[in-house]
Amino acid sequence: MDYQLYDNLLYHLGKLCIPQGERVNIIRHAHTYLNAGHLGVSKMVTHLQRYYYRPRMLESLSRFIKGYSLCAITKPSNRKPWESVSMDFVEGLPLSIRGHDYFYVVVDRFNKMCILMPCKNKITVEQTTQLFFQNVLVHFGLPTSIVSY
């Protein structure tokens, strides 16, 4: 076999063999590391195989990532469109035939879809609410979070 021992560490083909007791810790650290964390199974296997050797690494990583609750909760497939929106006004537009010079913009933060609603620069809170109800609420329901700039 191609195993070598350096400084009491076992290497296989130049890659560090992960001891049984450290396998979960290394997987956890690599998966949650800030710069490259929470990648999918294939990317994590590719990343770890650069430095470590472990038999059946793909199986271990698959089992770990599927059981990691934070990833399961935050996956895009678990979020609903129009659940979280942002809204703002775009100003400085040329005056339209109908006297509009602003856009009221509502953006779905999940899929980046936006709705542009022409309005005037003297729009009131009541008029803004009415635009939101007529153009967003009736089609997508009430979002759970709204960010306004």
CB-CB contact of 118 with 98 (8 Å) = yes
Beta-carbon-side half-sphere exposure of residue 65 (alpha carbons within 13 Å): 21
The total of structural domains in the chain comes to 2
Query: Is the domain of 104 the same as that of 62?
Result: no
**Which pLDDT value is given to residue 133?**
95
Angstrom distance (rounded) from CA 106 to CA 134 = 12
Q: Which of 22, 53, 76 is the last residue of a domain?
A: 76
Query: Is the domain of 65 the same as that of 111?
Result: no
Q: What are the tens digits of pLDDT across the range 67-80? A: 775 665 555 555 67
- Of the listed ranges 4-13, 45-54, 115-124, the least confidently predicted one is 4-13
Query: Is the domain of 22 the same as that of 72?
Result: yes
Query: Is the domain of 72 the same as that of 89?
Result: no
Query: Is the domain of 11 the same as that of 36?
Result: yes
| CATH at 47 | 1.10.340.70
**Residue ranges making up the domain that contains 68:** 3-76
**Which pLDDT value is given to residue 34?**
45
Q: What are the tens digits of pLDDT across the range 80-93? A: 789 999 999 999 99
* 21-35, 42-56, 65-79, 89-103, range with greatest mean pLDDT: 89-103
